[in-house]
Amino acid sequence: MAGLEDLYREIILDHYRNPRHRGELECPPAHRSEGFNPLCGDEVVLTFEMDGDVVTDLRVGGYGCSISQASASMMSAAVIGKTIDEIRDLTRAFKAMMSIHEESIGGDGSEALDGAADAAGANDGALRLGDLEALRGVVKFPVRIKCATLGWNALATGLDETAAGE
């Protein structure tokens, strides 16, 4: 059985209590992207600056639960200084870790879910999720996956729009 300690790891609570890169950058020159969870009304507002294809700065605004806020905070620390391609690879690896396969939900869920997360972790090859690994336990609480991916989806949309606009 999944316990709360699987969800609320200390590092997640730390990011929730002391969010990194909190705030908003002036747009323009910064780009802006929003994510919205209609189920709970949570909202994340990302503003980020680009130099070429590198995200040089990013700020997280909005409001939401500990998981959505901590995930966005950890994401900000992970992506600043990286290129769009590197961020897309990281996003793919993170979302693979967050993905659960439908057949895993039915039976004795927890082991299958562990397996899915491990496989996703192994597949990211050279990519290291680092602190983001702490969010792996979210998979055991399927209702909360949308919380964890809220900021990542907003960033992916924002980067796509930026790339398309050039």
Partner 1 sequence: MSTGAGPDIDRAVKVQFPLLERSVHGRPIVYLDSAASSQKPTAVLDAMDDYYRTVNANVHRGAYEIAAAATEQMEQARADVARFISAPSADEIVFTKNATEAMNLVARSWGGSNLGSADAIVLTEMEHHANIVPWHILAAERGFEIRWIPITHDGCLDLTDLDRLLDGAKLLSVTAMSNVLGTLNPIPRLAAAAHDAGALLSVDASQYVPHLPTDVGELGADFMVFTGHKMCGPTGVGVLWARMELLDAMPPFLGGGEMILDVTKEGFRPNTVPHKFEAGTPPIAEIVGLGAAVRYLEGLGMDAVRAHEVSLTGYALRTLTDRHGDDITVHGPSEPAQRGGVLSFVYRDVHPHDISQVLDQSGVCVRAGHHCAKPLMRCLGVTATTRASLYVYNDTSDIDSLAEALDEVGALFGH
Q: What is the C-alpha separation between 125 and 99, in angstroms, rounded?
A: 17
- Which residues from 36-65 bind partner 1, rule CB under 8 A? 39-43, 63-65
Q: Is 67 in the site for partner 1 (CB under 8 A)?
A: yes
Q: How far is the CB of 65 from partner 1 (least distance, A)?
A: 4
Q: Is the dihedral of CA 51, 54, 56, 61 positive or negative?
A: positive
- Per-residue b or e along 82-119, where b marks 16 or more CB atoms closer than 10 Å to that residue's CB: bebebbbbbbbbbbbbbebeeebeeeebeebbbebbee
Stretch that binds partner 1, among 4-12, 46-54, 75-83, 158-166 (CB under 8 A): 4-12
Q: What is the C-alpha separation between 27 and 18, in angstroms, rounded?
A: 25
Q: What is the C-alpha separation between 32 and 166, in angstroms, rounded?
A: 15
The residue (of 66 and 157) whose beta carbon lies closer to partner 1 is 66
Q: How far is the CB of 76 from partner 1 (least distance, A)?
A: 19
Stretch that binds partner 1, among 21-29, 33-41, 112-120, 122-130 (CB under 8 A): 33-41
Binding site for partner 1 (CB under 8 A): 1, 3-4, 7-8, 13, 17, 39-43, 63-67, 141, 144, 147
